[in-house]
Amino acid sequence: MGQEILIVVEHQGGEIADVTFELLGKGRELASKTGGTLTAVLFGSGMQAAAASLGAADKVVYVDHERLADFNPEACSAALVAVVGAREPWLTLVPNTSMGMDLAAALSARRDLPLVAYAIELALDGGNVIATSQLYGGKIYTESVLETGVVSVLGGSFPDAAGRVEGTPEVETFDAPDDVATGCLRFTGLIEPEGGDVDITQTEVLVAVGRGIQSEDNLAMMEDLAAKLGGAVCSSRPIVDNKWLPKTRQVGKSGLKVKPRIYLTFGISGAPEHIEGMKNAELIIAVNTDETAPIFEHADYGTTEDLFDIVPALTGMLE
């Protein structure tokens, strides 16, 4: 089959996820360099029409089954393993999302293919792929060499514009293998988040707090600062997991994506899952006592002063 690049299409509620177009754009670039083909793999039920927005691919392989209507890790893994088994692509690109995490490693294990996770860059070197992964909470990068295999790519790594091409490529239907129908994992519904008191996606100034604030009591001081700035407090995940703030205040991969004018962070390390949600803020200022914290890679300004010194001083200075 030569140099086929396979891309797994992620969708939810009938809508294709941005990360799919990011992968299609990058896949197109790689395929044009190798002279190979780009194939999008779509799983769903009555989803054929979605192929119309996958024009960046040369071909769409479509697997239709009622158990693929909503993402089901068991059924989708079975379908992907079968497609890859039949086509033996050179490279399979999967988004490193909640859905993709279930697919990439399952494919790797069941087809005995090497897997590189957390990729943020893909390049060619001779006949190999070089995948750059972001590890250790964003503190360390590695370049892995792959002759063939599976790469899971972090959302936001590539621009999605290049992958948004109208036009329906040739659609090839692939019969769902028997094990898509069997199995004991059942999808029972989607749960939308409850509306919060504050919509942080619409707030111009965000004061973002992380584990560095140590205790729930210290939130009051952050609220004061946010109030002086006419903004709101949002947070990294541990603060929400501790139930100090509602889920509607969480920024990042499983939280909300925000794009405020000002994003001021206190005691946030800058793990990739957090960065995914805030990197497009206009002005980012980070306060973190660890000078090696990855947040400083993404901030415009930073200081390693203790937040417990900076916050009172800063609050006192603002009208």
* 135 touches 142 (CB < 8 A): yes
How many Å apart are CA 8 and CA 106, to the nearest integer? 13
| Residue 256: DSSP 8-state | B
287 binds ligand FAD (CB under 6 A): yes
Question: If we measure between CA atoms, which residue out of 45, 51, 72 comes closest to residue 9?
Answer: 51
Q: Structure tokens of 302?
A: 């930073």
* 14 touches 50 (CB < 8 A): yes
Total chain residues near another protein (CB under 8 A): 97
Please report, to the nearest 10 degrees, the dihedral formed by the alpha carbons of residues 156, 297, 256, 227 taken in order: -150
267 binds ligand FAD (CB under 6 A): yes
Q: Choose among another protein, ligand FAD, none what residue 210 binds, the Cβ cut-off being 5 to 8 Å by kind.
A: ligand FAD
213 Cβ partners below 8 Å, 6+ apart? 219, 222, 239, 266, 267, 307
Of residues 235-254, which lie at the interface with ligand FAD (CB under 6 A)? 236-238, 250-254
| Residue 236: DSSP 8-state | -
259 binds another protein (CB under 8 A): no
Provide the minimum distance between the beta carbon of 211 and another protein in the complex, in angstroms, as a whole number: 10
Which is it for strands 15-16 and 11-12: parallel, antiparallel or unpaired? Answer: antiparallel
Q: Choose among ligand FAD, another protein, none what residue 73 binds, the Cβ cut-off being 5 to 8 Å by kind.
A: another protein
95 binds ligand FAD (CB under 6 A): no
Site pattern 4..43 for another protein (x: CB under 8 A) = --------x-------------------------------
306 binds ligand FAD (CB under 6 A): yes
Residue among 26, 59, 67, 274 that touches ligand FAD (CB under 6 A) = 274
Provide the minimum distance between the beta carbon of 81 and another protein in the complex, in angstroms, as a whole number: 9
DSSP E strand stretches across 96-153:
115-125, 128-135, 140-146, 149-153
Residue among 269, 281, 284, 302 that touches ligand FAD (CB under 6 A) = 269
34 or 289: CB nearest another protein: 289
Q: Choose among ligand FAD, another protein, none what residue 301 binds, the Cβ cut-off being 5 to 8 Å by kind.
A: another protein
Question: If we measure between CA atoms, which residue out of 30, 304, 76, 38 comes closest to residue 185?
Answer: 76
Residue among 4, 22, 64, 74 that touches another protein (CB under 8 A) = 74
87 binds another protein (CB under 8 A): no
* 233 touches 101 (CB < 8 A): no
Report the 10 Å Cβ neighbour count for 49.
Answer: 10
Of residues 40-69, which lie at the interface with another protein (CB under 8 A)? none
289 binds ligand FAD (CB under 6 A): yes
Q: Choose among ligand FAD, another protein, none what residue 185 binds, the Cβ cut-off being 5 to 8 Å by kind.
A: another protein
Residue among 255, 258, 268, 278 that touches another protein (CB under 8 A) = 255
Q: Which long-range contacts (CB under 8 A, 24 or more apart) does 239-247 make?
A: 239/209, 239/210, 239/211, 239/213, 242/216, 244/216, 244/219, 245/219, 246/196, 246/197, 247/193, 247/196
Q: Structure tokens of 119?
A: 């990729």
Provide the minimum distance between the beta carbon of 125 and ligand FAD in the complex, in angstroms, as a whole number: 30
Of residues 112-131, which lie at the interface with another protein (CB under 8 A)? 112-118, 130-131
Of residues 180-199, which lie at the interface with another protein (CB under 8 A)? 183-193
Which residues are at the interface with ligand FAD (CB under 6 A)? 210-212, 236-238, 250-255, 267-269, 271, 273-274, 277, 287-290, 293, 306-308
